[in-house]
Amino acid sequence: MKNNAISEATIKRLPIYLRYLNRLKISSVEKVSSREIGENLNFNPSQVRKDLSFFGDFGKRGYGYDVVILVRRIEEILNLDHHIPVCLVGAGKLGQALSNYNHYLEEHMKIEAIFDQNPKKIGEMIDDLTIQPDDEIIETIHNKKIKVGIICVPEDNAQHVTNLLVKAGIKAILNFAPIIVKTPEDVKVNYADFTSELHTLAYFLDKP
């Protein structure tokens, strides 16, 4: 076990390990080696072992890793051992599609509030949630103890909505709007930027 700071790259791989391990767990697989994990996820086995050893000695030499234990440990590391309420800002088509992915988040996280500034949408139901107006963002986040915000609004509104989330005390944001938003240093923003991903892919095509 090492005490050094954990690298961002390692943190980003943990959810990928977790998902794979959960699949093994469901299939009642008891143990797994770094080699097997690596083969399935296209990682180097050394990297797998190094990532995991940052957090403790989870494996057994000559045996591998106990799947159930490893799942529990990674959940703890990621703060997923207790429920995290999430909100969604922007109830357009993409937002509505995402709200259906609640079950992919498993018990760990759940979208528990949806906001939109379009008066026509306010009051509409998505599953068991009523779309609320943007000016209820701060109060609702406090009441429901929401910790993470997902931004699905058009780019012109993304900074404004970000400011509201920050004001409400949110420290973690997933931004689907194709624009870099400004936040205080203690707020972590991840980007889900699929038009960028597509444009990046174009680079790898042969010149026509």
Residues that bind a copy of itself (CB under 8 A): 11-12, 14-16, 18-19, 40-42, 77-80, 82, 84, 86, 92-94, 96-98, 100-101, 104-105, 108-109, 147-148, 150, 171-174, 176, 178-180, 188, 190, 192-208
Range list of H helices, the chain: 8-26, 34-41, 45-53, 67-77, 93-99, 137-143, 155-167, 194-203
198 pairs with which residues across the strands? none
SS3 assignment, position 172: strand
| Distance (Å, whole) CA 147 – CA 201 | 33
| Distance (Å, whole) CA 59 – CA 2 | 15
Question: What is the smallest separation between the CB atom of 73 and a copy of itself, expressed in angstroms?
Answer: 13
| Distance (Å, whole) CA 198 – CA 206 | 15
35 interacts with, out of DNA, a copy of itself, none, CB within 5 to 8 A per kind: DNA
**Do 65 and 32 contact (CB within 8 A), yes or no?**
yes
64 pairs with which residues across the strands? 60
57 or 197: whose CB is closer to a copy of itself? Answer: 197
Question: What is the smallest separation between the CB atom of 82 and DNA, expressed in angstroms?
Answer: 25
- Can you say whether the dihedral through the CA atoms of 60, 30, 102, 197 is positive or negative? positive
61 or 82: whose CB is closer to a copy of itself? Answer: 82
Binding-site member from 29, 39, 46, 81 for DNA (CB under 7 A): 46
100 or 135: whose CB is closer to a copy of itself? Answer: 100
**Do 157 and 179 contact (CB within 8 A), yes or no?**
no
Question: What is the smallest separation between the CB atom of 151 and a copy of itself, expressed in angstroms?
Answer: 12
159 interacts with, out of DNA, a copy of itself, none, CB within 5 to 8 A per kind: none
39 or 155: whose CB is closer to DNA? Answer: 39
53 or 102: whose CB is closer to a copy of itself? Answer: 102
Q: Is 203 in the site for DNA (CB under 7 A)?
A: no
Binding residues for DNA, per CB under 7 A?
1-2, 7-10, 33-35, 43-47, 49-50, 52-53, 57-65
